[in-house]
Amino acid sequence: MLLPLLFFISSVSSQLLSNILSTFPSGCNRTEFFDASHLNCLPCRNGSVPSSDSFSCVCSPRQRLVQVTPGGPICADCPQGTVTAPDGLSCIGCTGQIDCTTSCPSDSVAVYRKTDGSLPEVSGVECVRCDAGTKPDSAQERCEKCSDRICLCTEDVSTPTCPSTLNVTPSPSLSTIFLSSGDIVSNRINASTLMTTARRCQLGSQIDCQALGNICVLQNYQRDVQTACTIFESISNVPSLNQWAPNMPWLFYYSSDAASELQREAVIDQIYKFTKDHHGELDIIAARYTLDGSFLGLKEISDGSIQLCVESLVATHKTFTFGTRIRQVCKLDVAELIRLEEPLFFDLYLRFTNTQGQQQMYPLPVVNENIRKTGGYPNREERSAQWILTRRFFLVDAWSLKDVESGNWTALRYARRMEINVEMVNTRDGKIYPPYVRIVYDELRTNDVVPAKEVDSSFSIRYYTNPFRHDKDLEIAMAVLSSLTVLWSALRAYSWGRRAGKAVFDMATLIQFLLFECSFLGNVFLFVTTVTVCYLTFAYKSQTYLFYMQLTDSQESTLMAYLIAAASLKLVALLHRFVSLMLTETFFIDWERPKVLPRADIDRPASLDPIKYDGAKEQPVVIWRTYLVANEWNELQNYRKTSMAVQVLAMVFFLDFLHWKDLAIWQPGFEIDPISPSFASSRVSRLAVSLFFYFTIGFTQWLLNVFIVERIILDPFHNFIDLCSIANISVLSLSHPLYGYYIHGRSVHGWADTGMAEMNEFLQRERDNLVGMRGLESGGEMQTYYVSLPLSFRKRYTDLAGGSSNDASGATARMQNVDPTTIQISSRARTHAAMNRFLQEMIEHSLPEVDYTIRERTMAEAALDIELSDSSSLGVFTRDHSESAFARCFVYGNEWAKLSFEALLFSIVFVYTNSVPLAAVVTYFSAVFLRMIASMMFTNHLVKSSLVDHRFLI
């Protein structure tokens, strides 16, 4: 049993539909008929009554038909003693018959006229069997092949009951189809049949008006030449007051442009929310019509009735949960399309409940991109003001372009892409503008109509809002933060110039400024993009009342452009950072003094100082301690706060194995629902999920490593400081020509070349506080410092470092008949000794021209990472209380540069491929390749700057 349904067709200036209450046919009373064009009940006029199916008005049994008009039949009462003849056009007597009725066999009709067509004075009904090829109509009144009264009409416009003023000149365009490619092809629409249908429509036949409208739809609403559409418009006459002609279906929007029609705020008076009731459902129903104009009733589209890509019932039902973004893509067999030969036609309505609790309906406009106008396609334009809005559409047409005799198709048409667009009102109160359907048809020509062939089709639902406010906020954020990066880059370039000993601004400083700007601007793009996409995605899913909306395609493209720009800038910044790390100059200062070898006549020398002991020989300082420290330093070069293998495995586990990537689906709530791949994510939502989880996993690793592993289990940097102290070796690492870091590793025991037992004794004495402090300052523990050195240091350092390459030539090796490496290392050893003495003397304040002071770092210097004191003449050692500042010489101290670039690389691959494993593989191997190249470059430059033998670095 059909329950009555109230419909409200909102007032639109281009249509008759204005505050009309509608119902199903069963909801009309005894004096009303159901208007299938407008989906409402209208009263029968001029004495007529509803027909048995309630879809039209007819004369009552005691009346005869006088005239057929567009407003309904005109009836007249039969005189006393007569009743309506079976043809309904005249009255006959019924003397001697009860109720003037009789029964005839099923193959016969009742005859009541004489052979000359006149009526007898006294009615006598005779049963006459119908001839072969004919059959009685449903009332057994006549033998004919038609069952409706319109068949009584002839083409003669002078017939009293069938007046027609239609004046159309037959034209070849009446039977043509206009394809999207611009081709014009013949079809099965017969021009004479079309004219007959049009005349019947003009005479008031609702089913023929529907059929005429359907033919107009098949002709792609073409109105540039004479078609069914032009005939349709001539019948409807589109009055200036926008009153639609009776019985005519609604096909076009006339008096308002598309932009105004789609921006009506008050017509859909329902607040939509992310709930489980009717507020959380996009309830769309379809009025369905056959090709001949028959009305098949209303049907909810949540069962997939307008989707060529139909999936499971559960997935299809959830398709219309409000706020769920859907994109169904499938391949269809042509055989399946051919099976749906005769097209069905649809008018869509949004059913909603207004604030007064009344259930209403609003008609949804259609943007058909195949509509041509003056040779162009206005509905393919971006600006909605140029669009031509229509109402009716079909899904598959395998009928109009098929040759009945040969069974071949000139073309087969199907909906390649259908999209329901829902725009939220900017006030963010949960209301929406009128949704609209955008549809694109494609054609298969003769050679492509093969049953085994597959074609692509898609169905989607998209929610969005006006992009102006979001775009403005994004522009302001980017403009303000980008301006700040210029100031910060200028400050960093100034700091670099001071640390490099630049007296004036030069080209090198300008290049550094641009490189710093790449890094900071990339950080800004990454920060703003990450915050924006994460906030919009997760705020959208967590809301009940709609405040946050999905982005439009253009907005997504803008954010993706920022993302790609950020990745490019971060790549430049990463390469800059790696080059800076590779060019860091590191020297290992060995504090060990040479031991004296005793003479044979004396068991023990009076002094270990060869100057005080005449004739003593020096035992060379053991180099293995330097090699050991250099190897440990080299191993720290690529040590990171995060593990790349753990990172990508965790991403695959959480996003792919646990399906957390389904959080990127645009739907209410944080449900992880892998039921259907049609629940669509977007580039922005996938970006939000990938960046959020990548940074979450990365920062979790970071915190665990820094605050748990390094504090409880293993701290490689503090262990390295201890190693330096045990090995009696200090480290000076210059990240800039005049700036770097110093680790004071001078042993408190005086020497380190000793045996296991004595070394154990040293450690016990240090544990018992029986020796001095390890620090550089007397009585202090501080071993790590920031160093800003004077200009005189750089000159002396460069002169000494250049000596190792001057003597190492291939010609010298050939003359001495030795390996070139031997000559090179021999020269390097002499330079190493000279450099070692120079740095020892500098640290011990033995060189007045290269002296330094020790002080605390100010808060401003720490915040700005810049030296505010002048160190051009007197160097400055600034205490490093963290004891880890020297980690900036390694990847460890520049973790953000690598982590941020890897996050961007992972996200870009994932966004454009939607494959977590592929993104993980690309990111992992990119990181491994970069690590291999960096390790090789780090080691090569470490050998060059520290003057150690490269053969002992592993």
Element (H, E) at 533: helix 507-542
Q: What's the one-letter identity of residue 403?
A: D
Contacts of 590 (CB under 8 A, 6+ apart): 621, 625, 626, 728, 729, 836
So what's the pLDDT on residue 338? 83
Number of Cβ within a 10 Å radius of residue 184: 13
pLDDT tens figures, 759-797: 888 888 888 888 888 889 888 889 999 999 999 999 999
Judge whether 49 and 58 are in contact, CB under 8 Å.
Answer: yes
Instruction: Give dist(CA 17, CA 253) in Å, integer.
Output: 12
Q: Tokens 């020497």 belong to which residue?
A: 751
Compute the average pLDDT of residues 367-372.
91
Q: Is residue 462 part of a domain?
A: yes
Per-chain mean pLDDT for the chain: 82
So what's the pLDDT on residue 302? 81
Number of Cβ within a 10 Å radius of residue 811: 9
> Per-residue DSSP letters for 572-586?
HHHHHHHHHHHT-EE
Domain end, chosen from 869, 890, 911, is at 890
User: Do 180 and 281 belong together in one domain?
Assistant: yes
Range of the domain at 701: 471-587+635-713+893-949
Secondary structure of residue 159 in the 3-state scheme: coil
Contacts of 548 (CB under 8 A, 6+ apart): 535, 536, 539, 540
So what's the pLDDT on residue 888? 93
Secondary structure of residue 783 in the 3-state scheme: coil
Instruction: Give dist(CA 57, CA 48) in Å, integer.
Output: 6
User: Do 243 and 136 belong together in one domain?
Assistant: no
Least confident segment among 279-288, 426-435, 592-601, 715-724: 592-601
Q: Which of 64, 46, 60, 61 is nearest to 204 (CA)?
A: 46
User: Do 271 and 405 belong together in one domain?
Assistant: yes
Tell me the percentage of the chain whose pLDDT exceeds 70.
83
Side-chain half-sphere CA neighbours of 713 within 13 A: 6
Distance of CA 435 to the CA centre of its chain: 21
Instruction: Give dist(CA 682, CA 559) in Å, integer.
Output: 12
Per-residue pLDDT for 413 more than 70? yes
Per-residue pLDDT for 648 more than 90? yes
Element (H, E) at 42: strand 40-43
Secondary structure of residue 714 in the 3-state scheme: coil
Q: Is residue 733 part of a domain?
A: yes
679 forms bridges with which residues in the sheet? 326
Q: How far is CA 895 from CA 189, 701, 737, in A?
A: 72, 12, 23
Secondary structure of residue 867 in the 3-state scheme: coil
So what's the pLDDT on residue 157? 42
So what's the pLDDT on residue 365? 93
User: Do 486 and 528 belong together in one domain?
Assistant: yes
Q: Is the dihedral of CA 655, 659, 660, 666 positive or negative?
A: positive
User: Do 281 and 304 belong together in one domain?
Assistant: yes
Per-residue pLDDT for 485 more than 70? yes
Q: Tokens 């900017």 belong to which residue?
A: 426
Q: Is the dihedral of CA 661, 664, 666, 668 positive or negative?
A: positive
So what's the pLDDT on residue 336? 82
Q: Which of 383, 373, 393, 386 is nearest to 437 (CA)?
A: 393
Least confident segment among 337-341, 739-743, 880-884, 946-950: 337-341
Confidence class of residue 243 from pLDDT cuts 50, 70 and 90? very low
Distance of CA 144 to the CA centre of its chain: 61
User: Do 660 and 784 belong together in one domain?
Assistant: no
Q: Which of 671, 435, 461, 668 is nearest to 548 (CA)?
A: 668
113 or 409, higher pLDDT: 409
So what's the pLDDT on residue 179? 83
How many angstroms separate the most distant Cα atoms in the chain?
170
So what's the pLDDT on residue 12? 35
Judge whether 531 and 474 are in contact, CB under 8 Å.
Answer: no
Confidence class of residue 169 from pLDDT cuts 50, 70 and 90? confident
Strand pairing report for 875-879 and 852-855: parallel
So what's the pLDDT on residue 240? 41
Domain end, chosen from 466, 499, 522, is at 466
So what's the pLDDT on residue 763? 85
Q: Is residue 879 part of a domain?
A: yes
pLDDT tens figures, 566-613: 999 999 999 999 999 999 999 999 998 887 766 555 555 555 555 555
664 or 346, higher pLDDT: 346
Task: Provide the phi-psi class of 293: left if phi over 0, else alpha when psi is between -120 and 50, else beta.
Answer: left
**Which regions of 650-799 does DSSP assign to beta strands (E)?**
729-736, 739-743, 784-788
User: Do 831 and 899 belong together in one domain?
Assistant: no
Q: Which two tokens stand for residue 591?
A: 């504090």
177 forms bridges with which residues in the sheet? 185
Q: Is residue 16 part of a domain?
A: yes
DSSP state of 224: S
Instruction: Give dist(CA 539, CA 551) in Å, integer.
Output: 13
Q: Which of 102, 109, 116 is nearest to 87 (CA)?
A: 109
Per-residue pLDDT for 10 more than 50? no
Secondary structure of residue 448 in the 3-state scheme: helix
Q: What share of the chain is helix, strand, coil (3-state, %, to 5)?
A: 40, 20, 40
**Which regions of 388-535 does DSSP assign to beta strands (E)?**
389-390, 392-394, 396-397, 411-423, 436-445, 454-464
Judge whether 439 and 368 are in contact, CB under 8 Å.
Answer: yes
Distance of CA 22 to the CA centre of its chain: 40
Element (H, E) at 649: helix 644-651
Confidence class of residue 101 from pLDDT cuts 50, 70 and 90? low
Instruction: Give dist(CA 605, CA 618) in Å, integer.
Output: 12
Enumerate the H helices of 768-858 as residue ranges: 791-801, 803-806, 810-816, 820-843
User: Do 707 and 718 belong together in one domain?
Assistant: no
Enumerate the H helices of 266-384 as residue ranges: 313-318, 334-339
Q: How far is CA 342 from CA 339, 434, 653, in A?
A: 9, 30, 50
pLDDT tens figures, 289-310: 999 999 998 888 887 888 888 7
pLDDT tens figures, 787-810: 999 999 999 999 888 765 555 455
Q: Which two tokens stand for residue 695?
A: 């940074």
Q: Is residue 355 part of a domain?
A: yes
Per the document, the length of the chain is 954
Compute the average pLDDT of residues 838-842.
94
So what's the pLDDT on residue 603? 54
Q: Is residue 782 part of a domain?
A: yes
Q: Tokens 């775009």 belong to which residue?
A: 471
Element (H, E) at 758: helix 756-767
Confidence class of residue 204 from pLDDT cuts 50, 70 and 90? confident
Instruction: Give dist(CA 789, CA 733) in Å, integer.
Output: 12
Per-residue pLDDT for 149 more than 50? no
Secondary structure of residue 668 in the 3-state scheme: coil
Least confident segment among 463-472, 514-523, 847-856, 868-877: 463-472
Using CB atoms within 10 A of its CB, is residue 710 exposed (0-12), middle (13-18) or buried (19+)?
Answer: middle
Q: Tokens 């007569």 belong to which residue?
A: 82
Secondary structure of residue 394 in the 3-state scheme: strand
Contacts of 549 (CB under 8 A, 6+ apart): 424, 463, 464, 465, 536, 540
Domain end, chosen from 419, 439, 466, is at 466
Q: Is residue 351 part of a domain?
A: yes
Element (H, E) at 934: helix 916-946
Q: Which of 411, 540, 378 is nearest to 470 (CA)?
A: 540
389 or 256, higher pLDDT: 389
User: Do 239 and 271 belong together in one domain?
Assistant: yes
User: Do 420 and 506 belong together in one domain?
Assistant: no
Q: How far is CA 954 from CA 355, 845, 943, in A?
A: 77, 35, 11
Least confident segment among 493-502, 678-687, 817-826: 817-826
Angle at the Cα of 370 (from 196 to 363), degrees rounded to 5? Answer: 75
Per-residue pLDDT for 443 more than 70? yes
Side-chain half-sphere CA neighbours of 743 within 13 A: 31
925 forms bridges with which residues in the sheet? none
Confidence class of residue 158 from pLDDT cuts 50, 70 and 90? very low
Instruction: Give dist(CA 134, CA 141) in Å, integer.
Output: 13
Q: Is residue 120 part of a domain?
A: yes
Overall number of domains in the chain = 4
Confidence class of residue 842 from pLDDT cuts 50, 70 and 90? very high
User: Do 511 and 458 belong together in one domain?
Assistant: no
Confidence class of residue 812 from pLDDT cuts 50, 70 and 90? low
Contacts of 546 (CB under 8 A, 6+ apart): 272, 273, 274, 323, 424, 428, 430
pLDDT tens figures, 649-662: 999 999 988 888 88
Using CB atoms within 10 A of its CB, is residue 336 exposed (0-12), middle (13-18) or buried (19+)?
Answer: middle
User: Do 508 and 401 belong together in one domain?
Assistant: no
Q: How far is CA 615 from CA 121, 598, 605, in A?
A: 165, 9, 10
Q: What's the one-letter identity of residue 103?
A: S
